[in-house]
Structure 1
Amino acid sequence: METIRVIYVSSKTTLPMNRCILRYTRTMQSIEEHSVFHYALTGDIEGLQKHLENECNSGNEEPLEDLFWEKDEMGRNALFTACMLGRSTTVRELLKHGAQVNECTARGYSPLHCAALWGQLETVKTLVELGADMQAKNFRRERAMEVASRYSKMDCAEYLTWAEAKQDLQSYVTHVRDTIADPEKVQGKLNKEDKNICTNTCSVKSDWIQNAKNPSIQDFIEQRRHLEDIINPILSKLTTQPEATAKASKN
């Protein structure tokens, strides 16, 4: 399996983006003319769509993931390339046909890391929408938001901070719902009123997440804090031993 040597110039350079993103150091024969990597590099979305459709209809028994075997020296395939170049439509097509949104290089960089450090805001949003893990860390223990900050891509860093705050609230709502629906965790320690309070409060927060107009990072933080203030006293009952059990353990 041949590795394609594509050199990516540092994103800190002051050269215009269309001159500094990449240059080839091997002959064009290194990249198959009609390959997924080729279409990602050239930005030929129609060619990519036709190529992927043909592969799907060819009856080839090999998994679609094999379409993404071509990689550069850093272990980045066509998806990473599309992310660095800010080609959101290409990213959607690649993920639709088997690319892995949370694939990482040997140094722990995900497609989201790459889009963020190159300042490709719309692609960052696309990846988050399609399930990219915002908590994934590279070999420096950096999340995508932290990489964006280090490279001064502040629009990406701010968006990812906002998206993390939203996800944090959503995750806590899910946690509460899953907890009160689990008989093994509840074990009769919550009464009907407790469960109704949890259910209704979570529904209110879910509706807010769906319908709030331009919520800020602070809005999500405050909603999370308000939810905790209501729910934590109830959930604390799940960690409290029944009185009879407590007495027995003392004896």
Structure 2
Amino acid sequence: MPNYFCFIFDVIVELMEPEGPSESVSSEKSVFFSSHEDDNQESESESTSTVNPLLQPALTGDVEGLQEIFEDPENPHHEHAMQLVLQEDIVGRNLLYAACMAGQSGIIRALAKYGVNLNEKTARGYTLLHCAAAWGCLETLKALVELDVDIEALNFREEKARDVAARYSQTECVEFLDWADARLALKKYIAKATLAVTDTEKGPGKLFMEDKNTILNACRAKNEWLETHADASVNELFEQRQQLEDIVTPILTKMATPRQVKSAKSVI
């Protein structure tokens, strides 16, 4: 693996390190995104002489330049475009991490169209979402969430991206990820409730058609609400989930309760 990649990440860390962090936070963050574990680092001139042709588009947000490499068969790098994107440094970071650290959400969106896995983890379990959260790249966070990345992924510290944002005092990122988590919680509960009344093999018991329709209609209404309330607050999302739970829980409880069967003796 060419060491120019390690060199580029170290340069980005140096340029983008927030002003005035405590020494412990600064050093920890540098370890998070630097590659000093490489015992065979080349000189700067050797590192930059073989720079990945996709690196400049990734760092500058040149979507057209990126697309040209991917889509123009005449481009000298076209055949190996995906390989260049996925090339990793010693800790498992590829070009997408560079784009995240530089806040280039357009590059992330473009690469997603070519089928790049946005949920890959580094050797320490960090995802692109962790990366964007740590560096306070709010627009990149939004792009990743819109692209359905796993917002519950954990790093080696058992931290979600929201926890990393909080650790580095990225307030806007924390607020956004709290919102994304609340929205996901509602969507997951809708899916869970729907499955409970439609999966006949896993269902806990017999369900009256009226009760089944009540749950399905409530779930459908909440899905429609989500589609028409993209800017709903965290509190509104929690309220919508609670309303759905208030409808679903009593029915599922009744559904799971064994029915009493009258004995022949009692009938006589």
Pairwise same-fold verdict (TM > 0.5): yes
Larger mean Cα displacement after TM superposition, 187-196 or 81-90: 187-196
Q: Name the structure 1 match of 2:192.
A: 175
Q: Does the CA-based 8 Å contact 1:148-1:157 persist in structure 2?
A: yes
CA deviation profile, 1:148-175 (whole Å, cap 9, x unmatched): 1111111011001001101100111111
Q: Name the structure 2 match of 1:127.
A: 144
Larger mean Cα displacement after TM superposition, 152-161 or 199-208: 199-208
Q: Name the structure 2 match of 1:229.
A: 246
Structure 2, gaps ≥5 residues long: 22-29, 35-41, 262-268
Aligned-partner residue type, residue 57 of structure 2:
Y
CA distance in 1, matches of 2:193, 2:167: 35
CA distance in 2, matches of 1:65, 1:140: 30
Determine if the alignment matches structure 1 residue 80 to structure 2 residue 97. yes
Q: Name the structure 2 match of 1:26.
A: 44
CA deviation profile, 1:94-153 (whole Å, cap 9, x unmatched): 111232110110101100110111111111000000011100011111101111111111
Q: Does the CA-based 8 Å contact 1:169-1:220 persist in structure 2?
A: yes
Aligned-partner residue type, residue 55 of structure 2:
F
3-state secondary structure, aligned to 1:142 = coil
Determine if the alignment matches structure 1 residue 49 to structure 2 residue 67. yes
Determine if the alignment matches structure 1 residue 5 to structure 2 residue 25. no
Larger mean Cα displacement after TM superposition, 90-99 or 208-217: 208-217
Q: Offset at 1:189? A: 1.1
Equivalent residues in 2 for 1:130-145 (5 A)?
Answer: 130-145=147-162
Q: Pairwise CA RMSD of aligned residues? A: 2.9
Q: Name the structure 1 match of 2:179.
A: 162
Larger mean Cα displacement after TM superposition, 42-51 or 214-223: 42-51
Aligned-partner residue type, residue 158 of structure 1:
E
CA distance in 2, matches of 1:5, 1:150: 24
Relative to structure 1, the CA distance from residue 213 to residue 40 in structure 2 (aligned partners, 3 Å threshold; closer, same or farther) is: closer
Q: Does the CA-based 8 Å contact 2:118-2:149 persist in structure 1?
A: yes
Q: Name the structure 2 match of 1:110.
A: 127
Q: Offset at 1:213? A: 6.7
Aligned-partner residue type, residue 156 of structure 2:
F
CA distance in 2, matches of 1:92, 1:212: 23
Larger mean Cα displacement after TM superposition, 174-183 or 118-127: 174-183
CA distance in 2, matches of 1:45, 1:140: 34
Relative to structure 1, the CA distance from residue 71 to residue 30 in structure 2 (aligned partners, 3 Å threshold; closer, same or farther) is: farther
Structure 1, gaps ≥5 residues long: 245-251
Larger mean Cα displacement after TM superposition, 197-206 or 1-10: 1-10
Relative to structure 1, the CA distance from residue 123 to residue 195 in structure 2 (aligned partners, 3 Å threshold; closer, same or farther) is: same
CA deviation profile, 1:55-113 (whole Å, cap 9, x unmatched): 6999x887x64232433443211111111111111111111123211011010110011
Relative to structure 1, the CA distance from residue 174 to residue 25 in structure 2 (aligned partners, 3 Å threshold; closer, same or farther) is: farther
Q: Does the CA-based 8 Å contact 1:134-1:164 persist in structure 2?
A: yes
CA distance in 1, matches of 2:204, 2:239: 31
Q: Offset at 1:180? A: 0.9
CA distance in 2, matches of 1:188, 1:119: 48
3-state secondary structure, aligned to 1:185 = coil
Larger mean Cα displacement after TM superposition, 103-112 or 201-210: 201-210
CA distance in 2, matches of 1:168, 1:56: 47
CA distance in 1, matches of 2:79, 2:56: 22
Q: Offset at 1:225? A: 1.1
Q: Which TM-score applies when normalising by structure 1?
A: 0.83
Give the percent of matched residue pairs that are identical in Structure 1 and Structure 2. Answer: 41
Equivalent residues in 2 for 1:165-204 (5 A)?
Answer: 165-186=182-203, 189-204=206-221
